[in-house]
Every structure is written in C-alpha cells, then in structure tokens.
Amino acid sequence: MKSNTVFRWFLALPRPAKRVLAVLHDGFFCGFTVWLAVCLRLERWAAWSPSYTPAVVGAVGLALPLFAYFGLYRAVFRYAGWHAMLSLIRAIAVYSFVYMLVFTVIGVPGVPRSVGVVQPLLMFLMVGISRVGVRFFLGDLYRRMLGNASLPGVLIYGAGSAGRQLASALRNGHEQRVVGFIDDDARLHGHTVDGLRVHGADQLAGLIAKQHVGHVLLAMPSLGRKERNAIVQGMRPYPVHVRTLPGVSELASGKVSLKDVQELDIADILGREPVLPNGILLNRNVRGKVVLVTGAGGSIGSELCRQVLKCAPACLLLVEMNEFSLYQIHRELEDALAAQDGPSPELVPLLGSAQNEVRIGAIMAAWHPHTVYHAAAYKHVPLVEYNPGEGLRNNVWGTLVCARAAARHGVQSFVLISTDKAVRPTNIMGSSKRMAELVVQAFAAGAPVAGPAGAAATCFSIVRFGNVLGSSGSVVPLFRQQIAKGGPITLTHAEVTRYFMTIPEAAELVVQAGAMASGGEVFVLDMGESVRIMDLAYRMVELSGMRVRDASCPEGEIEI
C-alpha cells in the first residue's frame, strides 16, 4: 500500500518537477560512473580524489545539455519506447566522442586515460537501465498494482502493424486489459508480439472463459467487407462485443488512438463492397452551381447535402419545414466548412414546406437554382396508412409544386427521390410515391407549364432507393431502440428479405443520376444480394455485444 502511494505521488508531480528529478538523476550518474570507471581501472574500490573533479565536471557539463538537445527530458518515461532509446544512443554517441577526445586522446592530469573510454559505456548502461526500469515500474507494474486483472479483457483480432499500435494505446490506458492477439496466420500462433501471445480463432472460447474477455477489436483496416463479415459470423456463438478500426486511409499517419476504435459498421450486413461513385458525374451538376435540396433535414436529405457540399457548389439552399432539423444540418455543414481551407460555398437555410407553392416559387425566383433534389416526403409506411390524406398531399402535391416551380424558373436538372415501394405498391406510401413518379414523368414528357420557361428546359429524372440503412424510415433505428430496451425485436415474417444500401451510397446515387439523366429515366442502384431481415436482427444483436435468446441459446438477452 505504501509503494502504491509513492507511485501515485510521483505520477501526480507536475512535469517541471519530474524534469528536475530526471536532471538530478542523470547528474548523479555522471559523477558515479566516473568514480566507477576509476575503480575498474585501479581494480579496487578507490577513495575519492580531487583530481577526478575535472572528469565529473566534464561529464555533467557535456551530458546534460546533450540529453536536453536530443529530447531525453521531453519524453514521458512511463510511455518511453524504442524512440526514446534511440535518442539516448545518439546522445551517448556524441557524448562518447567528445569525452574520449578530451580525457583519452588529449588527457587531463590526475584522470586515468581509460576513464574516457569506460565512463561513457557505464553512463549508457546506467541511464538506459534506469529509463527501462522507470518504464516498467510506472507502466506495467503500476497497472498491475491498480488491479489490472479486474479490468474487462480485450482481444485484438490481427497481430499486424495496426494491431500492435492499438495494443500499445490500450496498455497505456487504465480502462481495459489486453489479453492477447487473435490471428488467422497459423505461423504466428503460440508466439508473442510486443509481449502479448498470439492465439488462433479456435482458442476464443477458452480465452473468454479464463480471461473474462468482453470485447474483440478488429485491427485489420485493409480487410474487405466480406472478410469482416465472415469473422463476425465466426464470433456469433460467443458473448463478445465486436468493434473495429477505421480504413487504411485514416491510418496513413501511422498513429492509432483509442478514439479510432468504432462500433462495427452496420453496413457490413450488405455482404458487398460499397459502390464507389464516379467523380466526374458527382461534379457535373453541382460544382460551381446553385443547388437546392428539399427535405434537407431528413436522413436522406441531410446526407445529400453532405455529399453535395464535398463537390464545391457555388451555393447550397437547404429547404426544410422542421425548424430544429434545419438548424441541426445547417450548423453541421457550417462546422464542416469551417474545417476546410479555401473558399467556401454559400449555405442558405430556408424554412418552408414543399407543399407551399408560393414559398417554393419565391425561393426559386430569388436564387435561380441550377439543380433541385426533391427529398421531402413522408416515408413511414404505418404513419402514412393512418394519415392517407397528409401522405398524398405531401408526397404527390409537394412533388407537383416543386416540379412545376422548377420548370417555370428554368431549373436545369430536377431529381425526385423515390422508393422501390413504388413498384407494384401495396400500401398508401408506395402508391403516393408512384403517383409522384408519374407527375415527374409527365413533366419530362413535356406537360405544358405556364410561365416564361417550358418544361423542356428542365431535365426531370427519378432515383429509386431500396431500404437505406440507418435512415429514419429504415428498420435499423427501430431494431436499435428495441435492443436498447432489452427486446423483443418484432418481425412481420421470419423469411422476409430486403435489398439494402447505405445512406452515402443513396446520396451519391442521386447526384450521379441527375448528371446522367436525359429526361424521364428511373435510376436504381445494383444492391447485390438481398438480406434476410431475420439475419439483420441477429447481426444487430451481436454487434451490441449480446446474444439472441432462442432454442440453441436459452440464456440469451434479446428475443426475436
């Protein structure tokens, strides 16, 4: 208990006080190693002699400034690694050259010439061992004294560079205990990396039981989505919470910190790599132009605004009827612009409903947008079933208002955000979106429009989404809420399947579709394989660090 108190006292000292202690420590060893070098030369314990004073003064006067110059007093000792040791080697190398030149080559009366050779070697050993000792006692040993064994256990999946950096970051903290590595390379199994043992995936069950492992961190940022999916599937039987690191581009600096660890992306359920956008198409209708987004505060509209902003428009008009949603997306985009260098596009938050013909017309007359993305819609199927009149008014009439205003005011490109539920619709929401599509296609076919500009001046197109992961109309937020409440997760049918796309994919598809359109087309993203909603529910439970309660696992926490 007393040693624990000493450690806490030392760690609580301010940085200047610790530097003073380090300087005094090194100064002591300068004198001590001179005396020790003399004793080795005489082959006996020699009494101190005033004739050795020049050697001590020379050692102190030379070593301490060199140590300061090479950064030995800037390093945090309990985190010191090979970089600190290399700095010490460089400092001692310069010190040895000068010290030997003075006390061995030139010579000083009363000081044995061998001192100039032996003392720097002893100095390196003493200072180096003391640094390693401080690193051990204030680092690893102190963490054990704090009760490291009681901390939650963590396994790192991947013993590569990212895994080692992550292990170092975790071991320097006090929140988690790194148990070891899991790696698929059988050649590494049984070996140690940075003092941590490398295990095979087949040993996971034993490690969880013995080491109380609660988290597995995937430290393989170059791994594809399918491979990550396979790893998560292999961990399905175990009660562990899976998290991951960002992509390779985000690790380009070679630095990994604890804030880089994220929840495993729910988009991993897609079973495919994300669809990469075409940069030329992204820029064609956006760069340097005035762009208007209706429903800018919604999940799709807000992501659309983020993607548009990356393409450097001249002006981005945010049209939203909900004040708080408009405030949130406007503030977020302003913060994003503040972090960028160079000229920033103009951001204009505009309160207004897509159903208000006067307001929409006034906005387009004032700002003359080149491109309009119409994302404003009611898309919650049950709510629209309860409110069919409002659903039709917003989805159909709102589309008519915006399309007519776009045609009247010479908008070059008008893109309607629709849904795959508009195909053979079975509910009012899907039917309303299909009617909205017919409105846009009528304008594309040349329906007459009163005003100075005819419909032919505007290119009308439609983009149909599948189920967008994480959007406000998706099952994902609903499942998250049900899991947070302890379940159960509710499904309409165990075998229902859906195609999914991510919100960024959806927003990029809209921008590219508008650039590709020649008039009246309906664009759809190739979304790969369909996903069973039951599998989605299972995966979300697992990513939450819990298990599904079923016949094979009656002790699970969440029932479906």
Asked if the structure places residue 237 within a domain, the reply is yes
Does residue 263 register a pLDDT over 60?
no
Asked if the structure places residue 485 within a domain, the reply is no
Average confidence (pLDDT) over 23-51 = 83
Q: Of the candidates 207, 236, 264, which is a domain's last residue?
A: 264
Residues 233 and 178 placed together within one structural domain of the fold: yes
Measured CA to CA, the distance from residue 73 to residue 64 in angstroms comes to 10
Q: Point out the least confidently predicted range of 11-20, 55-64, 176-185, 295-304.
A: 11-20
Amino acid of residue 470: G
Asked if the structure places residue 536 within a domain, the reply is no
- What is the reported pLDDT for 279? 59
Q: Of the candidates 234, 264, 294, which is a domain's last residue?
A: 264
Contact 432, 384 (CB under 8 A): yes
Q: Supply φ then ψ for residue 550, to 5 degrees.
A: -145, -170
Rg from Cα positions in the chain: 34
Residues 256 and 293 placed together within one structural domain of the fold: no
Does residue 260 register a pLDDT over 70?
no
User: Cβ–Cβ contacts within 10 Å for residue 134, how many?
Assistant: 16
pLDDT band at 253 (very low <50, low <70, confident <90, very high): very low
Residues 391 and 511 placed together within one structural domain of the fold: yes
Q: Point out the least confidently predicted range of 178-187, 258-267, 336-345.
A: 258-267
Residues 340 and 440 placed together within one structural domain of the fold: yes
Does residue 308 register a pLDDT over 90?
no
In sequence order, what are the residues at sequence separation of 6 or more whose Cβ sits closer than 8 angstroms to the Cβ of residue 517? 413, 415, 459, 460, 461, 523
What does DSSP say about strands 192-193 and 196-199: parallel, antiparallel, or unpaired? Answer: antiparallel
Measured CA to CA, the distance from residue 153 to residue 156 in angstroms comes to 10
In total, the chain counts a number of residues equal to 560
Residues 30 and 82 placed together within one structural domain of the fold: yes
Cα separations (Å) of 225 from 101, 222, 244, 273, 498?
61, 9, 12, 6, 19
- What is the reported pLDDT for 71? 78
- How much of the chain exceeds pLDDT 90, in percent? 13
pLDDT tens for each residue of 81-111 = 566 778 778 888 888 888 888 888 888 887 8
| pLDDT, greater one: 311 or 73 | 311
Contact 446, 456 (CB under 8 A): yes
pLDDT tens for each residue of 174-230 = 666 777 888 877 787 877 777 778 888 778 777 777 777 777 877 776 666 667 777
Residues 169 and 96 placed together within one structural domain of the fold: no
Residues 155 and 79 placed together within one structural domain of the fold: no
CATH code (residue 374): 3.40.50.720
The tokens for 291 are 């762009």
pLDDT band at 257 (very low <50, low <70, confident <90, very high): very low
Does residue 396 register a pLDDT over 70?
yes
Residues 119 and 225 placed together within one structural domain of the fold: no
Contact 546, 557 (CB under 8 A): yes
The tokens for 19 are 């530097």
Cis peptide before 345 (omega within 30 of 0): no
- What is the reported pLDDT for 151? 63
Asked if the structure places residue 173 within a domain, the reply is yes
Residues 345 and 448 placed together within one structural domain of the fold: yes
Q: Of the candidates 239, 264, 289, which is a domain's last residue?
A: 264
Residues 26 and 165 placed together within one structural domain of the fold: no
Domain around 255:
149-264
- What is the reported pLDDT for 8? 61
Residue (of 459, 463, 355, 356) closest to 407 by Cα position: 459
Q: Give bridge partners of residue 192 from the DSSP assignment.
A: 197
Measured CA to CA, the distance from residue 398 to residue 421 in angstroms comes to 18
In sequence order, what are the residues at sequence separation of 6 or more whose Cβ sits closer than 8 angstroms to the Cβ of residue 371? 285, 286, 289, 290, 291, 292, 411, 412, 413, 414, 415, 514
Asked if the structure places residue 540 within a domain, the reply is no
The tokens for 265 are 């992306």
User: How many domains, the chain?
Assistant: 3
Measured CA to CA, the distance from residue 242 to residue 238 in angstroms comes to 10
Q: Supply φ then ψ for residue 382, to 5 degrees.
A: -65, -40
Q: Give bridge partners of residue 442 from the DSSP assignment.
A: none
Average confidence (pLDDT) over 160-167 = 76
* Span between the terminal Cα atoms of the chain, in Å: 50
Residues 165 and 100 placed together within one structural domain of the fold: no
Residues 102 and 233 placed together within one structural domain of the fold: no
Does residue 444 register a pLDDT over 80?
yes
Asked if the structure places residue 486 within a domain, the reply is no
Asked if the structure places residue 106 within a domain, the reply is yes
What stretch of H or E contains 213?
A: strand 213-218
Does residue 4 register a pLDDT over 70?
no
